[in-house]
Structure 1
Amino acid sequence: MERKELVTQVLLAAAAFLVSYFFIKSLKNPLRKIPGPSGYPLLGNILSLNPKNIHNQFYEMARKYGAVMKVKIFGKPIVVLNSREACLEALIKTGTDFQGRPPLKRNNMVVPTNVVFSNLSDEQAMLRRLFTKAMKAYGPGVAHLENVMQDTIRGLVDGIDQKGDQAIESTELSIGYVCCVLASMMFGEKYSYDDELCHQMNQVNSQVIEATDPFSSGAVLDAMPFLYDFKFLFRDQHKKLDSANEAATTFIQSRIDDAKQSFDANHMRGCLDFFIEMQKNEIGADGKPLLDDVMLRGLLMNFLTAGLETSRRSLAQIFLDLLHDPTLQKILQAEIDSQFEPTQTIALKDKVKLPQMEAYMLEHLRFLTQVPFMIPHMAVRDTEVAGYKIPADTVVLMNSYHVAHNPDVFDEPFKVKPDRFLNGSGELIDRDHPLRQNFLGFGAGRRQCPGESFAKSRIFLFLANILQKYDVKVEGELPERDVRKYPMSILLTPPSVKVRFTRRQ
């Protein structure tokens, strides 16, 4: 009995020591001072969070806890920055302190090398430099992009006219347009609205999105990467990852191989040709290309996924706005009619003539805020933000959804009110106006989205040229237009709607 009692006492003492150790350690953790909801041991707040509605839950928390808050996912603390000031301090004022990325197991399995999700490194900096260089060299840049988009819009108009009075799903139309633009930019050829290659691009992208969605059940593999080795527990998830990896690799590599066979340095086509030229000319100290095919596949997959997912959601939201507010549609059309003849093509340089259109574009981006928390950041060293100390390796989210819908800044933030971006003379408010400063949808600082200007250009040219030629009407039931009810799936996802196009006289 004495021996059993001794063992019991030793175990109790060891347990008491461990409890004391972790308690004292938690007291010393600077994140302890950051406010946030209480959670359960080990699980944290995971049981109270709904992945499909997390943007609204974090919004309500922001109203309660203020500019900086903390949540725990499986016991791991995540810091959330809810104010514009705190976000900009982290993204710009602290230099590179918050420019890391947390490891995302599933994404790295499907796209091993990429610009968007990789951590700060020489390789990441090199990939971003090459990506930007190709964008600037392409055509050069926006000028050639506009020609590509105008050609695609003309093809799209022909396709709409051929359908006559037949209604079209807004999602189908959006994907067709965006895929055509992206395919032309990437591969340098002209594609029709319903080209088979565009369908392949969409299918590959859909598989990648489904396999890596951070708001799906598979996110547990990102939160606890060691579980990835227990494949019998996640058979369906592993099948999706393997299938997406194979589809993406096969599709992208086949395009690379075809482009290499027909490559002509005197006749450059799309961005892929510029990447191939870099592959030939940018050589490392070891005599090997700085940009190998694995890296190239990652760049092209980033190009495809980022461009397609954001633009198609924007266009889906635009149709909802026009159908919910016929007055807005008439105002934009009247502005277009006052500046252009019916047969005149509207170009990017014409944006200054359309302040109402520009104001709507700003309001559209603010209202939708389709990337509610931006891409996750991670502290690469011990640092601080808004007076709180943040240890290295802490995951940090920028709550751009709250920033863009902050009722202390925006009157009726969950209504679409383009006039908020116009002054008393009907002109667009200045760039440094507080209302324009409170939008961080494309990020800021060193990791700001490099495709911002291309995304805005795609949306503007589509909207202006479609409204110039058509009245847009709903077919059947009109879904709600309330961003608070949109589900999270990679990004906020507006519902699709059937649209009928009537040629304007």
Structure 2
Amino acid sequence: MRVKIFAKSIVVLNSREACIEALIKTGTDFQGRPPLKRNNIVLPPNVVFSNFSDRQVLSRRLFTKALKAYGPGVMHLENILQETIQSLVDDIDRRSGCAIDSAELSIGYVCCVIASMMFGEKYSYDDELCHQMNQVNSQVIKATDPFSSGAVLDAMPFLYDFKFLFRDQHKKVDSAKEAITKFIKTRIEEAKKSFDANQMRGCLDYLIEQQMLEVKADGQPSLDDLMLEGLMVNFLIAGLETSRRSLAQIFLDLLHDPTLQKTLQAEIDSQFEPTETITLKDKVKLPRMEAYMLEQMRFLTQVPFMIPHMAVRDAEVAGYKIPAGTVVLMNSYHVAHNPDVFDEPFEVKPDRLIDESGKLVDRDHPLRENFLGFGAGRRQCPGESFAKSRIFLFLANILQKYDVKVDGELPERDVRKYPMSILLTPPSVKVQFTRRQ
């Protein structure tokens, strides 16, 4: 369908077929991004929000290479992830019998993991760096929220020059820009001073090395400092926001469905001794765990319209002509909750992804194909594998060691009622962890 907002045409694609046609089959026709005034002010050019260009393609390539170089398969990072999990367990044990806020726990864990991935060191939950990451992230999200009054500035950017209008929004934007610029530049400067090519630490070291190695004909680095800052934004903002929401959804699911919790624990107990540590290579042993992870991601579909796309030239989808410059939204929320595909789409039912032999259904199964939560094509999320890895480690190790129970009132689990910004946000809940015998 086509709608107009402030005289701007927006086309919404509501079927999987139309989304795949736009994202993959039309090449680069819909790989642009609409200009978003507040994002462009707060954030340096980055992989997620930048318009399609040679510079954006280079940034994405380096971002992907960095993830592969220091991704799930590298022993150094996996050791850090396992140590982070152990720190999480130790923290829960210290607070035995006390209610723990699920949002606080999720954010703490994800901040530690992302900081370790970026900088190659182990961080604890009370580390000042992790607190800074969380604070900076919160400021950026509030300053760029597309469902706030500041969205008018994105739709009519000329209003931004009238500083007496939307004063509160101007303060949020200025404060967020200052906070994220200071945080990222400080970390890059520190990493460059201590950089040692013979002792690589995290993804930032890898990108610094690429900056030294990849030089253009004029002698300037292909990866300049502004691009480097943009890549760090992608690690920080995109990685933190999506993972913490998935973990918040997981707690709601376990508390609303005790049978699910027992089923996943039974699968873990059938494969591991209580004292064993579950690692990433053990994922294949837990098909029901993976089925649940995929199902909760489908149910939540936390980016319901994906990041907005834009037609970079006159194009066509499903027989309809779409002029260059048109904003195109992919309704991944409807694709993931289409009742013609999913029986009871607003229920969390992991068994729908398990075949008759007890294995996870193949990637080309319709129930898996109708999840576009990480996008598709050239602008598919490059951090999908790492996001699933850190969620798996959290869920498997927590359920191996604890029974999870609600403390107080249990919030409703209905994705149709979750607060909306660019992402859907599950409510937090007070949780008690009891060591399993």
Q: After TM superposition, is the score higher than 0.5?
A: yes
Given candidates 200, 208, 214, the residue that maps to 1:268 is 200
Whether the 8 Å contact between 2:13 and 2:328 is mirrored in structure 1 is yes
Partner of residue 112, structure 2 = 180
Letter in 2 for 1:396: V
Alignment of 1:162-241 (within 5 A): 162-241=94-173
Is 2:379 aligned against 1:479? no
Whether the 8 Å contact between 2:292 and 2:350 is mirrored in structure 1 is yes
Distance in 1 between residues matched to 2:45 and 2:87, nearest whole Å: 34
Is 2:339 aligned against 1:414? no
Whether the 8 Å contact between 2:33 and 2:52 is mirrored in structure 1 is yes
Whether the 8 Å contact between 2:77 and 2:120 is mirrored in structure 1 is no
Q: Give the root-mean-square deviation of aligned CA atoms.
A: 1.2
Partner of residue 364, structure 1 = 296
Letter in 2 for 1:165: G
Letter in 1 for 2:136: V
SS of residue in 2 equivalent to 1:80:
strand
Partner of residue 21, structure 2 = 89
1:433 deviation in Å?
0.9
The percentage of counterpart residues that share the same residue type is 84
SS of residue in 2 equivalent to 1:492:
coil
TM-score (norm 2): 0.98
1:189 deviation in Å?
1.1
SS of residue in 1 equivalent to 2:344:
coil
1:490 deviation in Å?
2.4
Given candidates 243, 246, 256, the residue that maps to 2:175 is 243
Partner of residue 80, structure 2 = 148
Partner of residue 10, structure 1 = none
1:286 deviation in Å?
2.2
Alignment of 1:342-421 (within 5 A): 342-421=274-353
Distance in 2 between residues matched to 1:147 and 1:180, nearest whole Å: 13
Whether the 8 Å contact between 2:15 and 2:335 is mirrored in structure 1 is yes
SS of residue in 2 equivalent to 1:499:
strand
1:271 deviation in Å?
0.8
Name structure 1 gaps, 5 residues minimum: 1-68
1:301 deviation in Å?
1.1
1:141 deviation in Å?
5.1
Letter in 2 for 1:413: P
Whether the 8 Å contact between 1:179 and 1:308 is mirrored in structure 2 is yes
Is 2:43 aligned against 1:106? no
Letter in 2 for 1:377: H
Letter in 1 for 2:56: Q
Name structure 2 gaps, 5 residues minimum: none
Query: Which structure's CA Rg is the greater one?
Result: 1
Is 2:358 aligned against 1:426? yes
1:218 deviation in Å?
0.5
1:143 deviation in Å?
4.9
1:142 deviation in Å?
5.5
Is 2:72 aligned against 1:134? no
1:461 deviation in Å?
0.8
Q: What is the CA deviation profile of residues 262-286 of structure 1, one whole-angstrom value per residue up to 9, with x for unaligned ones? A: 1111101111111111122222222
Q: What is the CA deviation profile of residues 33-87 of structure 1, one whole-angstrom value per residue up to 9, with x for unaligned ones? A: xxxxxxxxxxxxxxxxxxxxxxxxxxxxxxxxxxxx1111112110000000000
Letter in 2 for 1:190: K
How many residues align? The count is 437
Whether the 8 Å contact between 1:472 and 1:499 is mirrored in structure 2 is yes
Partner of residue 283, structure 1 = 215
1:304 deviation in Å?
0.4
SS of residue in 2 equivalent to 1:232:
coil
Partner of residue 28, structure 1 = none
TM-score (norm 1): 0.85
